[in-house]
Amino acid sequence: MDDKTNALREHVKGIFSNLELVLGWEPGYDPLHTRPFYVRTESDIDRLTANCLSFQNLTRYLAKSMNAVDPAADGRKIGVCVKGCDSRSLVALIQEKFVSRDRVYVIGLPCRGTLDARRIRALVPDPARIRSVNAEGDELVVETDRGISRFALDRAIARKCLQCRYPNPVIHDVLIGDPVTPRLKIDAENPSVAAVEALSLEDRLLFWENQLDRCIRCFACRNACPLCVCQNHCIMETRMPKWITQYRNMNEKFMFHMIHALHLAGRCTECGECERVCPVGIPVALIKEKINAIIYEMLDYESGIDPEAVPPLLTFSPKETGI
């Protein structure tokens, strides 16, 4: 995303008196990090940022941390900043009635991609001391203690952004900035999924085992996911029924990720948060992307586009044949 900080602050200042709070981002502990930020008072607005480091999908907080269903007593709405991918999560939450459309004021931010901190660390000579990170056109400029590096933006943005189909928010009350051209057509093949599918069956198993073996079960992927809404009732942690034991072996790690993926079948909006937050670098979203591709092919459905639609695995059609 290009830097929209000023435009965002201007807009929020104008409407803040009508809002209960605004979910946005603020700078993190260093120039490569960003923190979700709850704007609660007028003076907080100047801490807001919106740029290529606005990673987090803020709709996560709507369903899990606050009441976004009942209308507010004083009629004030919750403001939420969304990128294209985040807006799809919001639509999915509206579909499932975790968020009421009337309760939120959606500030849409067209996005050309968010950065992947790991890729940047691999690109710059002195990743330990980064002073500033800025996108300038199609270039990314990173200043470290050892000088300035410039490279193509595409080398530093997240995997999900390279295959982005919806850079522009699908729902919004206001759009800040001009719409962006999508990188991929809606029916284009997912290149990452294709790379895994090119392997033989045995190699695919080895690939996934090798990836999932690193899992430390911190549940960051689950907790960052806007659509993992079961919260403290997740079957990962119940002893009855006991889907998962305390063993840290391959069977349990594999099973955990199958649970996560299958519970998101037809619901995942590919915001990529699970993959970004993984502390051990497992391409978690890659599992869900395949399920999405299957559902698109089989049922011609894309999650998080139409607020009126019902997720396909929560409904049926008697007319279907061939399955």
Partner 1 sequence: MSSKSDAKQEREIKIVGFLCNWCSYGGADTAGVCRFRQPTDLRIIRIPCTGRIDPLMIVKSLIQGADGVLVSGCHPNDCHYAVGNFYARRRMEVLKRFLPYMGFQSDRFRYTWVSASEGQIWQQVVTDFSETIHRLGPNPGLHQTVDSAPAVSWF
Partner 2 sequence: MSGKIFVAHDALSGLLDDLSKKFKVWIPQMMDQASGHIAFGVYAPGKKPELTRRSRLSPKKILFPSMDTLFKFTYVKDPKDPVRYTIDLKESFDNGPTLVFGARPCDTRGFQTFDQVFLKGQYKDVYYERRRQNTLFATLVCQDSDTACFCSSVGSGPADMTGSDMAVIPIEGGYVIEGLTDAGRKLVETSGSAPSPEQAAAAEQMKRNTAALKIGEDDLTGYADDLTRRFTDMDFWREQVSPCITCGVCTWVCPTCYCFSITDEASGMSGERMRSWDSCMFYLYTLEARGHNPRPTKMERYRNRVGHKFSYFPKKYDGMVSCCGCGRCIRTCPVSIDIRKVVKELKETADDRA
Tokens at residue 134, please? 């800025």
Indicate which single residue of 73, 128, 240, 323 sits in contact with partner 1 (rule: CB under 8 A): 323
User: With CB under 8 A as the contact rule, which of the stretches 68-76, 198-206, 240-248, 315-323 interacts with partner 2?
Assistant: 240-248
Tokens at residue 241, please? 């029924």
- Closest separation in Å from C-beta 197 to partner 2: 17
Which residues contact residue 129 at a Cβ distance below 8 angstroms, ignoring those fewer than 6 apart?
144, 145, 146
CB 163 within 8 A of CB 283: no
Q: For partner 1, how many residues bind (rule: CB under 8 A)?
A: 47
Identify residues 235-264 at the interface with partner 1 (CB under 8 A).
243, 249-251, 254-255, 258-259, 262
- Closest separation in Å from C-beta 133 to partner 1: 20
Cα 141 from Cα 148, distance rounded (Å): 7
Choose the contact partner of 149 out of partner 2, partner 1, none; CB within 5 to 8 A by kind: none
Q: For partner 2, how many residues bind (rule: CB under 8 A)?
A: 47
Q: Which is nearer to partner 2, 23 or 107 (CB)?
A: 23
Q: Which long-range contacts (CB under 8 A, 24 or more apart) does 294-298 make?
A: 295/265, 295/266, 296/187, 298/323
Which residues contact residue 124 at a Cβ distance below 8 angstroms, ignoring those fewer than 6 apart?
130, 142, 144, 149
- In DSSP notation, 236-285 reads TT-SSS-SS-S--SHHHHHHHHHHHHHHTTTT-----HHHHH-TT---TH
Binding characters for partner 2, 98-137, by CB under 8 A (x = yes):
--------------------x--xx----xxxx-------
Identify residues 190-229 at the interface with partner 2 (CB under 8 A).
210-211, 214, 216-220, 222-224
Q: Which is nearer to partner 1, 148 or 298 (CB)?
A: 298
Q: Which is nearer to partner 1, 145 or 209 (CB)?
A: 209
Cα 160 from Cα 113, distance rounded (Å): 8
| Alpha helices, DSSP H, located in the chain | 5-15, 59-64, 84-95, 117-123, 159-162, 191-197, 201-212, 220-224, 250-263, 273-277, 285-299
- What are the residues binding partner 2 (CB under 8 A)? 28-30, 33-38, 56, 60-61, 64-65, 118, 121-122, 127-130, 210-211, 214, 216-220, 222-224, 231-232, 237, 245-248, 273, 276-277, 279-283
Residues that bind partner 1 (CB under 8 A): 159, 192-193, 195-197, 199, 201-211, 213, 243, 249-251, 254-255, 258-259, 262, 265-266, 283, 286-287, 290-291, 294-295, 298-299, 312-313, 315-318, 320, 323
